[in-house]
A = this chain, B = another copy of it.
Amino acid sequence: MDIERLCQAAKAAKYRIAALSTEAKNAALIKIAELLDKEREQILIANAQDIAAATAKGVSIPMIDRLRLTDARIHAMSEGLKQVADLPDPLSDVLESWERPNGLKLEKVRVPLGVIGIIYESRPNVTADAFALTFKSGNVVILKGGSDAIKSNTAICALIRRGLREAGIPEDAISLIESTDRETTKQFMQMREYVDVLIPRGSAGLIRSVVENSKIPVIETGAGNCHIYIDESADAAMARDIVINAKTQRLGVCNACESLVVHKNAVDRVLPGIYAALAEKSVVIRSDEASFSAATDGVRIENATEEDFAKEYLDLLISVKTVSDIDEAIAHINRYSTHHSEAIITENEENAERFLAGVDSACVYVNASTRFTDGFEFGFGAEIGISTQMLHARGPMGLKELTSYKYRIRGNGQIRS
């Protein structure tokens, strides 16, 4: 299908989707969840074709693993849809209401963003997940997935559309762009007339390309060069446990710690324990000279370049920068971070507050792991991505962050004088 016609069809459905009752949306989500479970064979067959093609192409084993669907993964997708049905409808809230001296009654209420485009990479479970969140918040979604998962995505999308049809809801609430070449993606990013917002999910390269080429307003997500600052007064055991958690619990995620900033007076007291624990996890350290003294036997330590400080490794590497005071730490972080998540480890309350106020990131922590930056960990019950921009939403985006608002104003003949 021609991309412009697909976008037109999505726009044509948007006011009907926006007007659906909470009950109608929840019933459809549950019906679709059951359909995915029942018809999983179709998905598995399509997925096997994707896996075979990817294997023949020489795609790496970890990538194939991300691509692979199993009974358990399809069941988890289905359960995910049911969980979204259980979440409160973000459109039912009145955000504010007030009356003016002239008698006008104003109400600020949530409304859907409209048509949301999502561009993502290989994981086919994103297809069902992104549909559930955009649909529950009253939006229409157009998905553009990666080429490796195209048959899986097509099968999942077809089942969702069938479920919508059976529930009496316009199936254009979801559509999938089936052509996966770059030219189509570029064309898609020009569809400002039909698409209200574009959300890229995936690698830093994908996100940069969308930000640079899209005519549609973009919500920038994802890239996380997250820092932990070890203050002079840090508790050594707490610092070690948090750094190990933030760096090594999962390497490839945007809220993993990529860089330590260390007060010079904490180098001898706190760093040796952290370095030894990192070495146990096979993490290589790239540091300025001042911290080399903290490296005991078995620790792999190398000289950091300026490039290291700016890098989101997503790997068994961490950079270390020593500083003379907390202000230098804050300035270093604001310069090199991607404004995602940063933490301070300190026993000094004044420094904690200084860090919270001065660090310009979506999520700023005192004495906790950066890994908590996550819609579920925040208690949102869902997450479509983590925004690293200033406009609209910042940090974990749940259902509410997929909405805009409007004002309803009730009068009895007021005119302006």
Interface residues of A (CB under 8 A from B): 15, 18-19, 98, 100, 104, 106, 111, 113-114, 196-197, 212, 215, 217-219, 235, 238, 241-242, 245-246, 249, 334, 352, 356-358, 360-369, 371-372, 377-379, 389-392, 394-395, 404-416
Contact A352/B404 with A113-B390, A377-B100, A379-B98 known, Cβ cut-off 8 Å: no
Structural contact, B415 and A404, CB atoms closer than 8 A: no
Which of B245, B395, B406 meets A364, CB within 8 Å? Answer: B406
On chain B, the residues within 8 Å of A106 by CB distance are: 378
**A389 to chain B: closest residue by CB:** B217
Q: Name 22 A/B residue pairs within 8 A (Cβ), A-sorted.
A: A18-B360, A98-B379, A104-B372, A196-B390, A212-B215, A217-B391, A235-B413, A238-B413, A242-B413, A242-B415, A245-B415, A356-B408, A356-B410, A362-B407, A367-B412, A367-B414, A368-B411, A368-B415, A369-B415, A377-B416, A391-B404, A394-B407
User: Given known contacts A100-B377, A378-B106, A407-B363, is B413 in contact with A241 (CB within 8 Å)?
Assistant: yes
Q: How far is the CA of A111 from the CA of B352 in the complex (A)?
A: 18
Bound CA–CA A411/B344 (angstroms): 10
- Closest Cβ of chain B to A201, distance in Å, is 17
Q: Which residues of B contact A249 (CB under 8 A)?
A: 415-416
Q: Please, which residues of chain B bring their CB within 8 A of the CB of A379? A: 98, 100
With A368-B104, A411-B366 as known contacts, state yes or no: A111 contacts B395, CB within 8 Å.
no
Contacts of A408 in B (CB 8 A): 356, 364, 366
